[in-house]
Structure 1
Amino acid sequence: MTGRLSWALAAAIALGSAGASAQEVATYSAPTGLEVTVGLGFQAGAGYVYKNGARLDRTVGDVKLSDAANGAVPFLVEVGYRVTPNWFVGAYGSYSYILTKENPYSCFEGWECAASQLRFGPQVQYHFSPTASFDPFVGVGFGMVLLNNENSGPTQVQVGPGAPVTANLKLKSQTRGPEFVNVTVGGKWRLGHSLSFGPYLTGTYARYTTRSGDTTLALPAPLPTTTTPLGPAEDGPYGLIMLGIRGSWNI
């Protein structure tokens, strides 16, 4: 009698545990609906801002990304819809604070130099394991890129037969063009029913095709201040790599 009671008790415990596990699995459903992602990382690039254009040192030539920057810090935002648990369709945008550096072509020693980059466009992602604790994914997109620069500082100007005078030169420019493709690989650890986070790696190929802006030369009073538009330059092809962490919220 005691043996039968022990067997019955063990069976009841096993059934109860299985039912609890099944209920726990059932409580998590695959994500669908609106999804918002934010991210932070580090950005490096190779290629050109422009080619065969007028540079700050009054020469004509190329300006590379590596000439003007030590990288950048991108802030990422994605908004879209999980059409199915596996497929996400939406848009991306990123703002990058560029770590400028002194160089003879765009930022002389002792100058104040600031630059930022804005990227945006549509994208699609495929998630391989949307119900697992870790969900790897791959994404593809394209879009536009805007690069803003503002550099200023003292420069020597010859205005007559005497010694040169010190003037203030300010250069403001916006360089823009298409981002032909970007590819992102990454993964997300699930923190709950709606939150997840994980690493990402993005590679892009793009080209700066349009450059606009001006230079302002402020001479000591009573000499005049003059503003002239930037000269022409050839397109600048380049690529970027971004590595960071991102978090997602399914609404």
Structure 2
Amino acid sequence: MTSRTLIPSLVMSLSLLAVPAVAQEVSSGSGLALGVRGAYGIPVGDAVEDTSQSELFGNTVAPQVDLSYFFNRHLSLGGYFQYGIAKPDGCEEEAQCKARVLRFGVDLDYHFAPEGFVGPWVGVGVGYEIGSLRVGTSEDTLAKVGVRGFDLGHAHFGVDFQLTRSIAVGPYISASVGQYSNVDTEIFGASQDIDVPSDQKSLHVWIQPGVRLQIRL
């Protein structure tokens, strides 16, 4: 075999050897994914003793972003950040009340049928929660209340509809259990930061139906 025929033969042989490796890399499913969610938060339980979660915050409209890493097509681990906007149920008509709930943490999700058009998934996670309430008039702030504590655990279930190879959208529902450990207040300029005593701590729950758009990067 001459050098002129040897070089093309070697190139062709190496290319054929590389095809399975490339195909395996593409089909492994690993990589990053960006998620954008819109959820409606329904509070259940007490924020602290004798103060219900709904009186403090009420229902929330809660957009969320999350960034996940897929180890394969089925399993992903990621972080999330949610910003909830609310109006407390206990707010009097003559007062102006503004509330927000920030939630962030980590999620571990499992996708049952990532190759199909319809793909159910489930996940669990933990995180941290920061809530605040402002009561006042259009010109003055009369009082502020803030709470902080851990999201002790949450679970969510959803169904993805695979629009393209990299874009999926679908409904989901999540439920989280949390407990506030710190309360800070500011009333007419006087502030106070309090660690909630153990006998006054309560468990609260957020139920959140919503929709998620996920883009594989």
TM-score (norm 1): 0.69
Aligned to 2:32: 34
Aligned match for 1:184, one of 122, 144, 156: 156
2:33 counterpart SS class:
strand
Q: CA deviation at 1:213?
A: 2.5
1:120 and 2:104 matched: yes
Structure 1 residue 169: Cα displacement: 6.4
Distance (Å, rounded) in 2 between the aligned partners of 1:117 and 1:194: 31
Distance 2:201 2:187 in 1: 20
Report the CA distance shift for 1:213/1:68 in structure 2 as closer, same or farther (over 3 A): closer
Matched, 1:227 2:190: yes
Q: Are the equivalent residues in 1 in contact too, given 2:155–2:175 (CA < 8 A)? A: yes
| Shift of residue 30, structure 1, vs aligned partner | 6.5
2:130 paired with 1:109:
no
Q: Post-superposition shift, 1:199?
A: 0.5
Structure-2 change in CA distance of 1:171 and 1:89 (3 Å):
same
In structure 1, runs of 5+ residues without a counterpart are 1-27, 52-61, 155-167, 217-225
What is the CA deviation profile of residues 93-142 of structure 1, one whole-angstrom value per residue up to 9, with x for unaligned ones?
Answer: 211111323x3xxx333111100001111111000001011111001000
Q: Counterpart of 2:55 in 1: which secondary structure?
A: helix
Contact 1:34 1:82 (8 Å CA) reproduced: yes
8 Å Cα contact 1:215-1:230 kept in structure 2 = no
Distance 1:232 1:87, change over 3 A: closer
Secondary structure in structure 1 of the residue aligned to 2:212? strand
Correspondence list, 1:165-184, <5 A: 170-184=142-156
Per the alignment, residue 242 of structure 1 pairs with 208
Identity of aligned residues (%): 23
Matched, 1:150 2:131: no
Structure 2: gaps (5+ residues) = 1-25
Q: Which amino acid aligns with 2:52?
A: K
Deviation by residue 1:195-234 (Cα, 9 ceiling, x = unmatched): 0100010000111110012111xxxxxxxxx525367753
SS of the residue 2:54 aligns to? helix
User: How many aligned residue pairs are there?
Assistant: 188
CA distance in 2, matches of 1:77, 1:38: 5
TM-score (norm 2): 0.80
**Is 1:86 matched up with 2:74?**
yes
Whether the 8 Å CA contact 1:209–1:236 is kept in 2: the answer is no
Return closer, same or farther for 1:153/1:80 CA change in 2, 3 Å cut-off. Answer: same
User: Could you tell me which amino acid in structure 2 is paired with residue 141 of structure 1?
Assistant: G
Quote the Cα distance in structure 2 between the aligned partners of 1:149 and 1:69.
Answer: 7
Which residue does 2:114 correspond to in 1?
A: 130
RMSD, matched Cα: 2.1
Distance 2:88 2:178 in 1: 20
Q: Secondary structure at the match of 1:148?
A: strand
Deviating beyond 6 angstroms after TM superposition, the runs of 4 or more aligned structure 1 residues are none
Separation (CA, whole Å) in 1 of partners of 2:30 and 2:195: 49
**Per-residue deviation at 1:70?**
3.9
Aligned partner (choices 178, 194, 198) of residue 166 of structure 2 = 194
Q: Which amino acid aligns with 2:44?
A: A
1:59 counterpart residue number: none
* Shift in CA distance, 183/231, structure 1 to aligned 2, threshold 3 Å: closer
1:44 is matched with which residue? 42
